[in-house]
Amino acid sequence: MKDYKYIGTDVTRIDALEKISGAAIYGDDIDFGANLLHAELVQSTMAHAIIKSIDISEALKVKGVYKIFTGKDFPYKFGLYMKDRYIFAQDKVRFVGEQIAAVIAFSPGAAKRAAELVKVEYEALPAVLDQMEALKDDTALLHPELADYPHVPWFFPKPGTNIAHWRKTRKGDLDKGFSEADFILEDTYQVPRYAHCAIETHVAVGKFDHSGRLTVWSSSQSPHTQRHLFAEALGLSHKDVRVIAPHVGGGFGGKAGVTMEIIPAALATKLKGYAVKLRYSREQEFINTYQRLGVVAKIKMGVKKDGTITALDHKIYWDAGAYVEYGANVVNAVGLSAIGPYRIHNVSIDSVCVYTNLPPGGAYRGFGYSEMLFGLESHITRIANELGLDQIEFRRKNAIKAGDLTAYGAKMNPNGLIECIDKVQQAIEWGKKPSSNDPTKVIGQGFSLFWKAPAMPPNASSSAFLKFNEDATINLIISGMDIGQGYQTVMAQIAAEILSVPPGKIRVETPDTDRNPYEWQTVASHITWSSGNAVKKAALDAREQILSLINRVYHYPIDELYLEDEAVKCQTDPAFLLPLKNFVVDGIMTRDGTFKGGPINARGMFMPEFSSTNGDPETSQGGHPNVHYTVGAAALNLEIDRETGKMRVLKAALAIDAGKALNPDLVRGQITGGLLQGLATVLYEDMRYNDKGKLLNPNFTDYKIPTSMDVPDEIIPIIVEVPQPDGPFGARGIGEHTMLPAAPMIANAVEDALGIRIKEMPITAEKVALAVLNKDKQ
């Protein structure tokens, strides 16, 4: 690391102590009193530059300032899948907004005032703001040390380039496939970056006590993963790191992994006995947390006259930003699945993760599949139209079925994709689009299929503890996060179903890594499947303990015993009934006055032991990286004002194969919410950067998100149930999938209504109006 010039003295300013009482921390209502310190970040104003000096002398004079820290204090790398990032910038900054220093003060105001007085001198370097530019030979190299970065074995970085990871998938004979085609369509599609826009911004508090114990309160989707990364980066034992996760005010992937949470954790280790709080502003939320990756997709597809797809060449270039420690796994996941839910025998996929000087990309609801499907499903519709085929029949003909091979050679799981297609076609009344009474308005129909697999390591696991109380109520102790999807409700339902206890008598708490057992992360739409299996196993363990105890005491055969209405009953002795509350803690007294049994405490664990990532790096053949896919179909009727370009979704239908809908109301809610979020990305949201890499609209005034006024007039949620063989009661996840078809549906409906194909998101009213104007001039 270059030793940049450091101006000022890092001293403790006890004389400036300002007694400020602490604030309540989300969920736990903890008051830290005068021991609560506030952190404010000094962030880079340059997209790419060498740090020549940091002058903190004026900042230290602000009343209430306690300490100021820079990268020299924390020369530690961290990262979930690739360790390419420092807690604070070291000798170089790589995006506008990157944290350079932190001011610690006894009030938020003092910290903010002082941070504004820190002076950073830079030496500008060429900024690379576009992934296609970053791939050129003469472009600045953003990470010369790439070869030295530790990473997971399924990443394939290309040192000496700006390629952080290149996922290659090959199947069949591509040249042969194209030679058999009667029609070939080749084109390029673009998807920009997007922000998560959770209403609650990121906030975390770290406290390092005098026993050497680090506790972090964090609004997080990943408490155990955060604990692991904190321990790794800061050189602590896992037993000495505790993460407490209160309820989350919106996540969508933006609070997965680790972003700003490691900052107060690290700062706390230098401020023993104090708690350090960092709360992001809305602007910081836009510029210095994960963003959805930008995409340039080049698609070439060959098709026979009868509609059989013969070949697909899919090249996807991802703008992953300045650091890819999480975002590269988005690239990896899509690179395995970019055939979409189709049966294609000859395939080439190149999914390329590229460093740029924009903020780091990471997990976002859909994990790259939304971006991929925008191009692919647009392409599918265009090919059907060119060949004069009904686009639904074209999709039905090529739809992947159980047993068909995926792009990487594994067999497709049982699924209800055809049923989804049929039900959406009927619900939307495909081919019978309504007409508008307003001569300035036209209506188009758009259709799309979708699929997604959980993107997770092969050893991602879930666990559960379950304990009965004296009154036969239950504490279910798990570590997934309820981020609005109803996770806690569904886990209680699974336990209730097995143990005959009403869900209302089962309490589920948010995680505390000291108390709650391990859970990888609440991401990837895997939590119902994975954590649900762990909870099911824990409930079965409890049931086995209960029935075994009854067998020991009363000698009824176990296979004749069952649980019903919070009691044990016997098939061969209708008179036998023993309420759970009579013995699940106290045990059962026998004739001689002794007791048998004791507290019923159970555990369950689930890991997909069949999953593997050992495929050939050049083809991806030979492994089983995805555990299963969730599939579906969707369609909508879109009204467009030809003069203004303003669009309104009149009706939308979305069908998803949930395997088994454990809570149908929650599934229907996810369909509605996910569809609206997807429509937001295609119709409203639009990140604008200037040529210096600065985001121009980091606020809800200029970055548009939908309101209740923008909800489609009618949404038809459709649940299809083809059981997942290894799912709890046949269930699989659906949380991310419901936003995936929104963008291609809009693009396809615009073309249907206006004869205009828009190949770059977002598809805003302005863009549509200009396209109509240009078409009318031709």
Neighbouring CB atoms inside 10 A of 434's CB total 12
Contact status, residue 638 vs residue 750, Cβ threshold 8 Å: yes
Tell the burial category of 124 from Cβ atoms under 10 Å away from its Cβ (0-12, 13-18, 19+). exposed
CA 38 vs CA 172, 263, 695: distances in Å? 58, 12, 26
| Residues ≥6 apart with Cβ < 8 Å to 15 | none
Residue 454, preceding bond cis, omega within 30 degrees?
A: no
What phi, psi does 104 have (nearest 5°)?
A: -110, 125
Residues near 206 by Cβ (< 8 Å), separated by ≥ 6? 214, 215, 216, 264, 265, 266, 267, 268, 269, 275, 276
User: Encoding tokens for residue 346?
Assistant: 């000859």
Tokens in use for 644? 């203004």
Strand 92-93 to 49-55 pairing: antiparallel
Angle in degrees, CA 481, 484, 490, rounded to 5: 70
- Report the alpha-carbon distance of residue 10 to residue 2 in Å, rounded: 19
Contact by Cβ (8 Å): 102, 40: yes
Residue whose C-alpha is closest to residue 81's, from 482, 361, 384, 315: 361
Token pair for 28? 């736990």
Active site (annotated) includes residue 736: yes
User: Structure tokens of 294?
Assistant: 């930008």
Q: By the 8 A CB rule, do 629 and 404 touch?
A: no
What are the CA-CA distances from residue 29 to residues 26, 33, 338, 508, 509 (Å)?
6, 12, 46, 18, 15
Task: Please say whether the beta carbons of 571 and 495 come within 8 A.
Answer: no
Catalytic residue among 371, 685, 736, 751: 736
Q: Which residues are catalytic?
A: 736
